[in-house]
């Protein structure tokens, strides 16, 4: 079966969506790719030195590795353990996802949705952008979704 693409921004909601996706992957007996997109539009009001981009990617990769370790340590399933890969890229989330989809055909993309707030209103609504631009299955996990094994 094709792998699942699990998106996170390292927030509680984003990481919970990853946990849901990982559980689904165990049930489907498929592998997963974790992804974090670093959207420079959201930090455009800051001046970044050229080498800062490498640092942002490295920090993102470090956080993804921590998340992988957490998933592996809390996986008590005796039957199947999904293989986990990761991608950390600069760019708008929808563009990053499209570039990954050109390289690999994912069964489904999983993302968490944040509660509405004024700050989120000012920034791009990632879930809406994904729904409007992608032509593949998308599972949107609400922030209060219960996690069951």
Q: What is the DSSP string of 48-60?
A: --TTHHHHHHHHH
Mean pLDDT, the chain, whole residue set: 83
CATH hierarchy code of domain 4-141: 3.40.50.620
Cβ pair 108, 138 in contact under 8 A: yes
Cβ pair 130, 138 in contact under 8 A: yes
Cβ pair 39, 93 in contact under 8 A: yes
Who wins on pLDDT, 140 or 122?
A: 140
**What pLDDT sits at residue 2?**
94
Q: How far apart are CA 32 and CA 86, in angstroms?
A: 8
**What pLDDT sits at residue 116?**
58
Question: Chain-centre distance of CA 104, in angstroms?
Answer: 15
**What pLDDT sits at residue 106?**
95
Share of the chain above pLDDT 90, in %: 49
pLDDT at 121 over 60: no
Q: Please give the structure tokens belonging to residue 92.
A: 């708008």
What mean pLDDT do residues 75-83 have?
87
Size of the chain in residues = 149
Q: pLDDT band at 53, cuts 50/70/90?
A: confident
């Amino acid at each position: 079966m094709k792998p699942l693409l699990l998106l996170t921004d390292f927030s509680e909601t984003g990481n919970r969506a990853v946990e849901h996706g990982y559980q689904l992957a165990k049930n489907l007996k498929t592998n997963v790719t974790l992804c974090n997109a670093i959207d420079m539009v959201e930090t455009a009001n800051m001046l970044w030195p050229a080498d800062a981009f490498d640092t942002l990617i490295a920090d993102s990769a470090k956080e993804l590795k921590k998340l992988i370790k957490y998933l592996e340590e809390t996986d008590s399933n005796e039957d199947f353990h999904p293989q986990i890969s990761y991608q950390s890229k600069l760019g708008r989330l929808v563009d990053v996802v499209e570039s990954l989809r050109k390289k690999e055909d994912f069964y489904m993309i999983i993302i968490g949705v944040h509660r509405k707030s004024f700050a989120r209103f000012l920034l791009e609504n990632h879930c809406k952008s994904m729904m409007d631009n992608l032509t593949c299955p998308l599972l949107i996990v609400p922030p209060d979704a219960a996690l069951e094994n």
